[in-house]
């Protein structure tokens, strides 16, 4: 990776002969950016470009450059890459578009490029990329004229779009290094994260993710890097379209974006959902140490903004700190009727004392000094008019430096006329431990993100995220796409998942005998791969108490099935002992990026209405299973509520662990649904199961 960011020599292949507006000449941009290394050009038709000699072929170059940048039509990329490999160039940046981002032919060309890279030991960045930007070394592959920052920020952007390099001031505020992995046909996020882990120029990492390759390795690498450098991720494409096609409750409940949330949080990655949040969180990490705790002190010129701050704290996971009592004695004596609290409404005191700035300083200093305050939010006005020259927040902030020995974050929200606002924000941005934000939500989103990072950093390191090898396969799986009935229940039994006593009956007499065996009352269910959601279609009858009733129900169910699904396969009618307890859902879904995901939540017919679910990447431990249950909204019911006995929580946790083992051993399972799992004070039972392969 070092040669992509700091090549000593580079060859540009496909550079435009034109310069100036509209040319998008990467040689022109490279020279403008101040690259100090050796530059070579390959062009078959002209002897020079901008005074630089060109060479007809790569083989004609007088040395082997560290890096080649290819900007050609897609059909010419692979032959040119072959020339580079044969000449000994091991690092390629393919700017060209029209590969897997385009059509079937483009996908073929990209596959050929990957094959070439593997065969020759070449690493490829792209295709469809802006490439690299490194203001520390003066190197860029961009065809856009990006000004070089004379004092680059310690923030590196790893994106799947060059727009984040070009528009850094709009998206992250400031920027250091940047790399666009494009289609990531070879180099991907994992490779870049491994490099950035030890990069001295990088203190903060921002990721723009469209898709995630090598999902489990990505999480393991990110979790290791995030122990020392915060990672902020904007994951786009949050659609649930993929989940709509799910064949089980589990599939529809998990949802692709919910899995991304789970995975990124497990790795300690701070996820943001909008460009506004990205800018706010990036600014917070650039200016602040992570909050030591969630407690915020607010000093505001208007009580209305104090209320807004309180609401925003609740929305984003912070809390208002207790009011520092020493401040009460200092200020309330001036206005006996003005009762102080947090948020601190400063305007009445400023009016009485004649110095809002003085009151602001005393309040913020008091908040800094209080051990129960982890960060401070200041809200105040700014005006151009000389009649309000006393409202000098930048001056107050400068004087407060010595009052903040622990370097607590000071987030500021200034309001007033535009000219004064721009001038004061620019002045305040030079202050250490101080950052200005455009809105209350942005300020508190930024602070809250630093607190989330502190929590991850201080927690025990997560596991390695790898999937263990299958330990056993006690049963072969039949070739059907959907397993129901005995095939599904036998698989559960092989993993010690407790089943409700039941028998699959092929006729009335068999059903009656089964009911006598398991004991009345019983439940009868249609078992057919065509009736996945049988309760929705009237395929389940509860509380059957006599043989006569059972025989009639059997006939009704079989008639309903053959009338509704004349070409369907009726495997039989399942006769089960009716059990009572709290109904839960357990299940699995295989995510294409992160593998099997375990789900537990409120079950029964209202599963998709309640949507009370906990998720975990497989495998899990018993402790993790217990924590999944504790995170549910229905957990108070599981514990026991208003005199009702609780359920057997260890049995539920054990069932989750066994389901996790099953997922590891059968990677071909796409979805598995246990709904309901009935939990009682002693034990739990899986009532129904469907498996999608």
Confidence (pLDDT) at 253: 45
**Rounded-to-integer distance, Cα 310 and Cα 74, Å:** 55
Confidence (pLDDT) at 240: 55
Q: What is the pLDDT of residues 439-453, one digit of tens each?
A: 999 999 999 999 999
Q: What angle do CA 290, 181, 277 make, to 5 degrees?
A: 35
**Rounded-to-integer distance, Cα 283 and Cα 449, Å:** 11
Confidence (pLDDT) at 328: 77
Determine how β-strand 295-300 pairs with β-strand 375-382.
parallel
Q: What is the pLDDT of residues 481-521, one digit of tens each?
A: 888 888 898 999 999 999 998 899 999 999 999 999 999 99
User: Where does residue 216 rank: exposed (0-12), middle (13-18), buried (19+ CB within 10 A)?
Assistant: middle
Domain ranges of the chain: 2-236, 290-458, 501-577, 582-692
Q: How many CA atoms lie within 13 A of 283 on its CB side?
A: 27
Confidence (pLDDT) at 635: 95
* 229 DSSP assignment: S
Q: How far is CA 301 from CA 343, 385, 404, 561, 692, in A?
A: 10, 18, 21, 70, 60
**Rounded-to-integer distance, Cα 114 and Cα 118, Å:** 6
Q: How far is CA 74 from CA 135, 142, 479, 492, in A?
A: 29, 18, 42, 51
Q: How far is CA 640 from CA 258, 314, 635, in A?
A: 29, 28, 9
What fold does the segment set 582-692 form as a domain?
D-amino Acid Aminotransferase; Chain A, domain 1 (3.30.470)
Q: Do domains 501-577 and 582-692 have the same CATH topology?
A: no
Can you give the three-state secondary structure of 529-583, one letter per residue?
Answer: CCCCCCCCCCCEEEEECCHHHHHHHHHHHHHHHHHHCCCCCCCEEEEEECCCCEE
3-state secondary structure of 477: coil
pTM over 0.95: no
Confidence (pLDDT) at 608: 73
Q: Are 216 and 264 in contact (CB under 8 A)?
A: no
Confidence (pLDDT) at 76: 96
Confidence (pLDDT) at 330: 56
**Rounded-to-integer distance, Cα 77 and Cα 155, Å:** 32
The parts of the chain modelled with pLDDT lower than 50 are 242-255
What fold does the segment set 501-577 form as a domain?
Dna Ligase; domain 1 (3.30.1490)
CATH 3.40.50.261 fits 290-458, yes or no: yes
Place of tokens 């050929």: 112
**Rounded-to-integer distance, Cα 326 and Cα 329, Å:** 6
Confidence (pLDDT) at 530: 85
Confidence (pLDDT) at 241: 52
Q: How far apart are the first and last CA of the chain?
A: 40
Q: What angle do CA 225, 256, 114 make, to 5 degrees?
A: 60
Say which CATH class 2-236 falls into: alpha beta
């Amino acid at each position: 990776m070092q040669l992509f960011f700091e090549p000593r020599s580079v060859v540009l292949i496909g550079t435009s002969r034109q310069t100036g507006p509209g040319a998008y000449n990467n040689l022109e941009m490279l020279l403008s950016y101040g690259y100090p290394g050796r530059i070579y050009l390959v062009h078959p038709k002209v002897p020079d470009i901008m005074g630089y000699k060109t060479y007809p072929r790569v083989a004609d170059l007088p040395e082997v450059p560290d890096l080649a940048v290819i900007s050609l039509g897609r059909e010419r990329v692979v032959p040119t890459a072959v020339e580079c490999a044969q000449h000994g160039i091991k690092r390629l940046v393919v700017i060209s578009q029209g590969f897997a981002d385009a059509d079937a032919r483009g996908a073929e060309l990209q596959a050929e490029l990957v094959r070439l890279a593997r065969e020759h030991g070449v690493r490829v960045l792209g295709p469809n990329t802006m490439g690299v930007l490194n203001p520390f070394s003066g190197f860029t592959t961009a065809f856009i004229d990006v000004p070089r920052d004379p004092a680059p920020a310690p923030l590196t952007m790893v994106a799947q779009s060059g727009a984040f390099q070009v528009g850094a001031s709009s998206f992250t505020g400031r920027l250091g290094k940047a790399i666009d992995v494009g289609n990531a046909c070879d180099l991907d996020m994992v490779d870049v994260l491994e490099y950035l882990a030890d990069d001295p120029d990088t203190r903060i990492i921002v990721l723009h993710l469209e898709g995630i390759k090598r999902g489990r390795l990505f999480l393991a690498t990110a979790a290791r890097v995030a122990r020392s450098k915060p990672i902020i991720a904007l994951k786009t494409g949050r659609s649930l379209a993929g989940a709509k096609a799910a064949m089980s409750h589990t599939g529809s409940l998990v949802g692709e974006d919910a899995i991304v949330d789970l995975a990124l949080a497990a790795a300690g990655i701070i996820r943001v959902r909008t460009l506004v949040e990205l800018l706010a969180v990036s600014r917070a990490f650039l200016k602040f140490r992570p909050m030591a705790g969630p407690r915020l002190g607010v000093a505001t010129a208007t009580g209305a903004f104090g209320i807004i701050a309180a609401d925003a704290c609740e929305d984003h996971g912070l809390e208002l700190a207790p009011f520092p009592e020493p401040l009460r004695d200092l200020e309330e004596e001036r206005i006996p009727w003005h009762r102080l609290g947090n948020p601190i409404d400063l305007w009445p005191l400023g009016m009485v004392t004649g110095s809002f700035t003085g009151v602001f300083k005393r309040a913020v200093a008091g908040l800094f000094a209080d051990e129960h305050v982890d960060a401070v939010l200041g809200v105040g006005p700014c005006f151009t008019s000389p009649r309000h020259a006393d409202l000098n927040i930048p001056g107050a902030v400068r004087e407060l430096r010595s009052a903040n020995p622990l370097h607590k974050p000071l987030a500021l929200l200034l309001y007033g006329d535009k000219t004064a606002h721009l001038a004061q924000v620019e002045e305040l941005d030079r202050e250490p431990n101080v950052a200005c934000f455009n809105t209350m939500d942005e300020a508190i989103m930024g602070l809250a993100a630093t607190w989330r990072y502190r929590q991850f950093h201080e927690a025990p390191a997560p596991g390695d995220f790898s999937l263990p090898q299958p330990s056993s396969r006690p049963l072969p799986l039949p070739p059907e796409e959907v397993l129901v009935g005995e095939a599904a229940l036998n698989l559960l039994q092989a993993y010690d998942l407790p089943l409700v006593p039941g028998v699959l009956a092929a006729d009335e007499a068999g059903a009656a005998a089964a009911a006598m065996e398991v004991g009345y009352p019983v439940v009868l269910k249609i078992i057919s791969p065509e009736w996945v959601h049988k309760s929705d279609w009237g395929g389940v009858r509860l509380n059957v108490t006599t043989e006569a009733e059972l025989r009639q129900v059997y006939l009704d169910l079989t008639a309903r099935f053959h009338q509704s699904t004349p070409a369907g396969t009726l495997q039989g009618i399942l006769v089960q002992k009716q059990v009572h307890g709290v109904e839960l859902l357990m299940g699995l879904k295989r995510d294409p990026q992160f593998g099997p995901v375990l789900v537990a939540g409120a079950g029964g017919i209202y599963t998709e209405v309640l949507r009370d679910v906990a998720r975990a990447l497989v495998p899990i431990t018993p402790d993790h299973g217990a924590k999944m249950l504790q995170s549910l909204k229905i957990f108070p019911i599981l514990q026991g509520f208003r005199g009702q006995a609780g359920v057997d929580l260890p049995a539920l946790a054990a069932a989750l662990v066994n389901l996790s083992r099953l997922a590891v051993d059968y990677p071909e399972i796409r979805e598995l649904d246990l709904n309901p799992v009935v939990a009682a004070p002693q034990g739990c039972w899986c009532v129904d199961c469907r498996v999608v392969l």
